[in-house]
């Protein structure tokens, strides 16, 4: 029997609540598909600061490096917002992505037909939306140097640097074209090449990589226009590939096409060990109330089986179970609409796990 060793990092805010539901579903999948799970829990973010004084303890680093994959909830919250920058919870996330060389962040935004009424956009605009946002995750303005707050004369200056090496663009572009080949064969590369040199280079390299993928259509789009087009007519997009920060912003926008930020899963790949987490944060405004939507996290666990374990049938089954539960009318608060049945985080997790067992 195959056995998967998974580092489970619940983190902060709603993190523990939603991760618990994803674990239920993974356990149901293990039973159904006949594989073993070794789940090892670790501290990260604010939870780690409270216990150990740092957001990304050595013990957690060792844990993830000795695992087959990582499942993460979310980190951060007002409690830790005033800490020195270098030990804020969010630093742990960046450190982990870098440590795992998880440079390609796949954020699929797919609207389930059942949730058409949950979107704030018109049904004809969102029906059938299926976009894969591919966000570069270990470089760009998040990591470029110089960075920091410096004294310059009699005032301070804050600096971050948008920086991309050719090899960094090349590898993310390859991922985008490969993914597009298995989808609708269209890549939109989003940049700001009319203003930012780093993205002039980005565009050049994407074009060069495209020469090896003549079967895939490539278009370039400026990020401001892309933000507008995503809301205007999202069905024009198949794969969107973009820089770290643009991808962060545009993927939250894409989430709303699917009804809620609580619907969008992600896979961060590129290294030996994949990282799976919802795209949303720790949602301090609803933490501890058992009302958060666990589907983004459940579907992130689903992605783990495709991208880390080459078992797409498990992701498909989890997806099917989610859809079946939505088809029966069950909704967490964020995707609730009149005539549907409001359930808690726990209930949603139970329903999906149960559905999966009975598929
Ligand atoms: P957020 O994503 O946590 O929340 C934004 C809004 O969406 C909130 O109203 C929240 O209630 C709602 N929401 C998010 N996830 C939901 C879910 N699963 N179900 C229902 N509603 C959901 O963003 P924020 O409020 O800007 O940030 C809160 C904290 O999270 C900050 O400390 C931030 O740094 C951190 N953060 C962490 C991650 C991560 O760990 N990957 C991502 C984004 C933000
Ligand atoms: C995300 C988050 C993170 C990011 C923060 C919390 C560091 O917004 O995963 O989308 O900006 O990458
Ligand atoms: Mn984000």
This complex has an ipTM of 0.99
Q: Compute the distance from residue 250 Cα to the ligand 3 centre, in Å.
A: 9
Q: Please pick, among 191, 238, 248, 319, the residue that the annotation labels catalytic.
A: 248
Model confidence pLDDT, tens digit, residues 89-126: 999 999 999 999 999 999 999 999 999 999 999 999 99
Catalytic residue among 113, 224, 328, 341: 224
pLDDT at 189: 99
Residue tagged active-site, from 12, 24, 142, 276: 142
Q: Is the pTM of this model over 0.90?
A: yes
Catalytic residue status for 252? yes
Q: If you measure from the C-alpha of residue 178 to the centroid of ligand 2, how many angstroms do you get, rounded to a whole number? A: 25
Q: Is there a contact between 132 and 108 (Cβ–Cβ < 8 Å)?
A: yes
- Mean pLDDT, range 66-82, rounded to an integer: 98
38 confidence band (pLDDT: 50, 70, 90): very high
pLDDT tens for 254-297 read 999 999 999 999 999 999 999 999 999 999 999 999 999 999 99
Same fold for the pair 1-106+261-359 and 120-258: yes
Task: Please check if 182 is assigned to a binding site.
Answer: no
* Predicted pLDDT at 15: 98
Q: How confident is the model at residue 29 (pLDDT cuts 50, 70, 90)?
A: very high
Task: Give the mean model confidence (pLDDT) for residues 140-151.
Answer: 97
Q: Is the C-beta atom of 93 inside 6 A of ligand 2?
A: yes
Domain layout of the chain by residue ranges = 1-106+261-359, 120-258
At the fourth CATH level, the homologous superfamily of domain 1-106+261-359 is: Isopropylmalate Dehydrogenase (3.40.718.10)
Structure confidence at residue 133 as a pLDDT band (50, 70, 90): very high
Burial class (CB in 10 A: 0-12, 13-18, 19+), 184: middle
Q: Which CATH superfamily is domain 120-258 in?
A: Isopropylmalate Dehydrogenase (3.40.718.10)
- Residue 242 Cα to ligand 1 midpoint, Å, equals 21
* Annotated binding residue 154: no
The band of 358, judged by pLDDT with boundaries at 50, 70 and 90, is very high
């Amino acid at each position: 029997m195959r056995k998967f060793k998974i580092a489970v990092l619940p983190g902060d805010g709603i993190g523990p609540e939603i991760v618990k539901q994803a674990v239920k579903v993974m356990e149901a999948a293990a039973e159904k598909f006949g594989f073993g799970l070794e789940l090892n829990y670790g501290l990260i973010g604010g939870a780690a600061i409270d216990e150990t004084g740092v957001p990304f303890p050595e013990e957690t680093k060792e844990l993830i490096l000795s695992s087959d994959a990582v499942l993460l909830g979310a980190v951060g919250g007002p409690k830790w917002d005033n800490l020195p920058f270098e030990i804020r919870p969010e630093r742990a996330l960046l450190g982990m992505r870098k440590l795992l060389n998880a440079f390609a962040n796949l954020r699929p935004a797919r609207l389930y037909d059942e949730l058409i009424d949950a979107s704030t956009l018109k049904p004809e605009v969102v029906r059938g939306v299926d976009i894969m946002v591919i966000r570069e995750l270990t470089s760009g303005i998040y990591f470029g140097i110089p960075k920091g707050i410096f004294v310059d004369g009699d005032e301070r200056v804050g600096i971050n640097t948008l920086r991309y090496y050719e090899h960094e663009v090349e590898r993310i572009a390859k991922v985008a074209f490969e993914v597009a080949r298995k989808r609708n064969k269209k890549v939109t590369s989003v940049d700001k090449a009319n203003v930012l040199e780093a993205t002039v280079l980005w565009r050049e390299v994407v074009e060069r990589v495209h020469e090896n993928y003549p079967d895939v259509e490539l278009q370039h789009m400026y990020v401001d226009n892309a933000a507008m087009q995503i809301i205007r007519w999202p069905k024009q997009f198949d794969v969107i590939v973009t820089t770290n920060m643009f991808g962060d912003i545009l993927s939250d926008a894409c989430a709303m096409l699917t009804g809620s930020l609580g619907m969008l899963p992600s896979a961060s790949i590129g290294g030996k060990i994949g990282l799976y987490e919802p795209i949303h944060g720790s949602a301090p405004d609803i933490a501890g109330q058992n009302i958060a939507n666990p589907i983004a996290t459940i579907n992130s666990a689903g992605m783990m089986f495709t991208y880390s374990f080459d078992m797409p049938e498990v992701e498909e089954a989890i997806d099917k179970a989610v859809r079946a539960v939505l088809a029966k009318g069950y909704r967490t608060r964020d995707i609730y609409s009149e005539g549907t049945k409001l359930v808690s985080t726990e209930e949603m997790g139970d329903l999906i796990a149960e559905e999966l067992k009975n598929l």
